[in-house]
């Protein structure tokens, strides 16, 4: 009947009510076309010290091995572009880390969406993932039509940009797959490649993580070399250069979830205020934020350099 809303439409509408900027569906099956590319990336040691990326490759490529009775991968995008950004000369922090840990914030919304799905499709089982398991998030989001993987390897979306988190609900419900975007919309633009301070983008969509500032400030556990330290350019947690220079991000709209707002308005701190930060203050201001992953000692060491 005309006017009847599909279950897919209902799920998309509920996702948007929960703050997601998009929701798409893919058939849960092995990502055959990405297997050789991923294994080649590992063989080049582009993952550096992130040894966890070498594990569970079969599950990373095939969600049916990760989640029992998986039929559909639901891909979700959640905006994190901040209302206000750092302006003063000070240690720099990536925008995704301004507020509460996104793993918790986004997962909370995913659980509400999954509850809605189970209410409307009784008996549905599945699992929720927010950057915390062997799931190829960008590839699934691209397959679900949410956007395309840009030259900086991040997922881009027309009219939005790339300042959003990705999440997945891999479930037993059989939902109609979306159509993947036929082509990317980066065109001849090479701003992200040209502006990367460390030339970490070695080819379109491929990052040598061992050169990436985000990797150096978060993932690398061994001591930085003098060259690596010099290349940080005041970044102490993550890096946004390839996103800040991307023309698509001129469309970024500030998020409206108060849980992503920085405590104590630390984005207004200058160099001296950062240098005066003690461990008790760090624990008070940055508890339950991504910065906890680095810890006070690592960050304070970077601030003092």
Quick count: other Cβ atoms within 10 Å of Cβ 240?
Answer: 21
Pairing assessment for the beta strands 126-129 and 20-27 based on DSSP bridges: unpaired
CA angle (199 as vertex; 197, 203 as ends), nearest 5:
145
Which residue is associated with the tokens 């000070």? 90
Question: Quick check: helix, strand or coil at residue 134?
Answer: coil
CA distance 240 to 138: 18
List 62, 108, 131, 244, catalytic entry? 131
Query: Is 40 annotated as catalytic?
Result: no
Give long-range contacts, CB 8 A cutoff, 24+ apart: 302-305.
302/91, 302/217, 302/232, 302/236, 303/91, 303/236, 303/274, 303/275, 303/277, 304/275, 305/229
DSSP 242: H
Active site residues: 131
């Amino acid at each position: 009947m005309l006017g009847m809303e599909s279950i897919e439409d209902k799920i998309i509408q509920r996702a948007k009510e929960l703050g997601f900027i998009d929701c798409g569906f893919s058939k849960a099956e092995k990502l055959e076309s990405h297997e050789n590319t991923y294994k080649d990336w590992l063989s080049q040691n582009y993952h550096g010290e992130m040894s966890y990326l070498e594990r569970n490759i079969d599950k990373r490529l095939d969600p049916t091995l990760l989640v029992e009775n998986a039929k559909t991968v639901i891909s979700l995008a959640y905006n994190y572009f901040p209302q206000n950004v750092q302006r003063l000369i000070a240690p720099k922090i990536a925008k995704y880390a301004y507020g509460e840990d996104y793993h918790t914030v986004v997962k909370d919304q995913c659980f509400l969406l999954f509850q809605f799905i189970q209410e409307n499709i009784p008996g549905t089982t599945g699992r929720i993932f927010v950057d915390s398991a062997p799931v190829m998030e960008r590839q699934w989001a691209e397959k679900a039509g949410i956007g395309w993987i840009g030259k900086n390897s991040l997922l881009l979306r027309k009219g939005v940009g790339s300042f959003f988190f990705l999440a997945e609900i891999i479930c037993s419900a059989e939902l109609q797959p979306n159509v993947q975007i036929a082509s990317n919309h980066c065109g001849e633009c090479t701003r992200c490649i040209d502006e990367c301070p460390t030339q970490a983008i070695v080819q379109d969509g491929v990052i040598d993580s061992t050169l990436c500032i985000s990797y150096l400030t978060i993932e690398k556990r061994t001591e930085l070399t003098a060259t690596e330290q010099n290349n940080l350019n005041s970044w102490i947690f993550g890096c946004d250069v390839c996103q800040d220079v991307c023309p698509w991000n001129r469309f970024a709209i500030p998020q409206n979830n108060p849980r992503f707002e920085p405590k104590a308005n630390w984005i207004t701190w200058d160099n001296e205020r950062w240098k005066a930060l003690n461990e008790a203050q760090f624990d008070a201001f940055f508890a339950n934020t991504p910065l906890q992953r680095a810890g006070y000692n690592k960050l304070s060491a970077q601030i003092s350099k």
